[in-house]
Structure 1
Amino acid sequence: MNHTDGAADNRHLRACTAAEGPYALDISPESAGWGYSALRTLELPPGGSHLLSTMDSEWIVLPLSGGCAVRVGDRTMELLGREDAFAGVTDFAYLPRDADAQIASSAGGRFALAGAKCERRLPARYGPAPQVPVERRGTGDCARTVHNFAAADSFECDRLIAVEVLTPGGNWSSYPPHKHDEHRPGEEARLEEIYYFEIDGPHGFGYQRVSPSRPGGTDLLAEVRSGDAVLVPDGWHGPSIAAPGHDMYYLNVMAGPGPGREWRIRFHPDHTEGYR
């Protein structure tokens, strides 16, 4: 199911429909029609490797399943990774712009490459799993767990903001609906956002809603499955709904043109009363 207003037809990317070269998913600023946010997923067989040229963007290598070694310059970062996206936090590697990096996996695995066009060239760094802030957000049927591995206040990047959210089956997350499509100093920051989904179980699914924040804005209700992505250039996004019996994972990748790297959002005024 995918209800759209026509303009949103290309904002729900079903699994494998945005593959390019070695990437099972390849979302660039150019393909998304915006200026900064990017996401790729890379599958490596046992003993496989991949050369990534970062060019004008900063990138984080985030294991979805399995581990890898990331070599940039004269530094190698060993990522232990995890069994799958539902198995807790993982370590990760930050890659600066204007660099060449090799990603190699002796046992094979799947890796998310979260990126953003940027100006500053920061040093390559290793992000240890024990240092990832874990947040329990919401209560009852709105409870979920957030891994703030590259949140604005937890890990330094130039423009990139990225977090993981795990929602138990039957629960809602990204609720109340919120938006960040305007620059309002101290109140709201303009950010382009990508949702990348994985659903527990071979037949699992969920739903993602984006509703217009202005006339002609994004209007999307998508049934999402593992490997799907949703682009959010504007609009109130949420809820993200996990079907009963099927936990939902999503990776949020954000970046924007603001003068500072900050996550400032506005909640939809019609859906905050009584929220727990």
Structure 2
Amino acid sequence: MKDLKHPSSWKYSSSIDEGFFEVVTPENSACKLTWVFRLNLKKGKSYSLSDKKLELNGVVIKGSVSIRHSSGERGLDKFDSFYLPAKDQLTIMAKDDCSLFFGGSLYERRGEYFVREYDLSIPLGGIHQIHGTPPFSREVFMTVSEKDVASRLICGITVGEPGAWTSWPPHQHTLDLEEAYCYFDIPDRSSVLHCCSRQPGKIEFVHPASAGDCVIVPEGYHPTVGIPGVKSCYFWVMAAHSSQSRRYDLAVNDPIY
């Protein structure tokens, strides 16, 4: 039987078929608070989105859509995103063949609907950030920042440099936050390497990850690196164990490195 707690079980593939799919849930993974979903729509099709218990952060990873909410209708292009609290509802309409990833966690009556345009011209600060230094620097854009009003989620998009590490030096936030990495824009027949370790200074398991793959981080260290010429690109979803740990500054670096 598959041991969900072992890092070898932490990679999940998402479907490219049309429809809405569960990717990661507490029922099929070692995560207790993290959900990941994927939606694929053909041009002209629509999907009504709502959940009774989860807050959701949806990010367009392919194509463009129009979303209709009680507050109004607007278009979203690639990497634009929205936050939807539980029991709220919106309709997603595909302007092109499109795909979206969703991160979810338990909603606790904190958080209201908002839309965020992906805009790298925003000055560096709370939403747009550069982490690390060359040769392992990466660009980060927060789709749900710790300053945004939400219950448990902090989410964002990370794009690394070709063939370079992200999340280096290795860090962990086991006591405070779970995480999932949802990979996109990895060229065909290419991959990035997602390393998993529950012990300092040790790599326990390495997952080759391609576009559409999701690797969870229920605990431990989790650096990634692109193979030569390939950028490590992913939508990351963090779910806090408590309202007090819904913070982005709790990472503990691996003391060996």
Confirm or deny a common fold (TM above 0.5): yes
| Cα 1:53–1:15 shift into 2, 3 Å | closer
Name the counterpart of 1:80. Answer: 76
Name the counterpart of 1:97. Answer: 86
Q: Secondary structure at the match of 1:231?
A: strand
Q: What fraction of aligned residue pairs are identical, expressed as a percent?
A: 22
Q: CA deviation at 1:5?
A: 11
| Cα 1:97–1:24 shift into 2, 3 Å | closer
Name the counterpart of 1:252. Answer: 236
Aligned-pair RMSD on alpha carbons? Answer: 2.6
Which ranges of structure 2 fall in alignment gaps of 5 or more residues? none
| Cα 1:46–1:218 shift into 2, 3 Å | same
Q: CA deviation at 1:178?
A: 0.6
Counterpart residue type for residue 90 of structure 2: A
- Among 39, 44, 49, the alignment partner of 1:42 is 39
Is the 2:48–2:90 Cα contact (8 Å) retained in structure 1?
yes
Counterpart residue type for residue 69 of structure 1: S
CA distance in 1, matches of 2:227, 2:96: 32
The superposition leaves residues 80-125 of structure 1 with CA deviations (integer Å, 9 ceiling, x where unpaired) of: 312xxxxxxx332211111232211132311111211121153222
Q: Secondary structure at the match of 1:9?
A: helix
- TM-score, normalization: structure 1? 0.80
Q: CA deviation at 1:177?
A: 0.7
1:113-262 equivalences under 5 Å are 113-130=102-119, 133-153=127-147, 155-182=148-175, 190-213=176-199, 219-238=204-223, 240-260=224-244, 261-262=246-247
| Cα 1:268–1:100 shift into 2, 3 Å | same
CA distance in 1, matches of 2:59, 2:117: 11
Q: CA deviation at 1:20?
A: 9.5
Counterpart residue type for residue 59 of structure 2: L
| Cα 1:143–1:122 shift into 2, 3 Å | closer
Q: Secondary structure at the match of 1:193?
A: strand
CA distance in 2, matches of 1:172, 1:107: 33
CA distance in 1, matches of 2:139, 2:117: 18
Name the counterpart of 2:62. Answer: 65
Which ranges of structure 1 fall in alignment gaps of 5 or more residues? 83-89, 183-189, 272-276
CA distance in 2, matches of 1:35, 1:120: 19
- TM-score, normalization: structure 2? 0.86
CA distance in 2, matches of 1:115, 1:135: 23
1:1-12 equivalences under 5 Å are 7-12=6-11
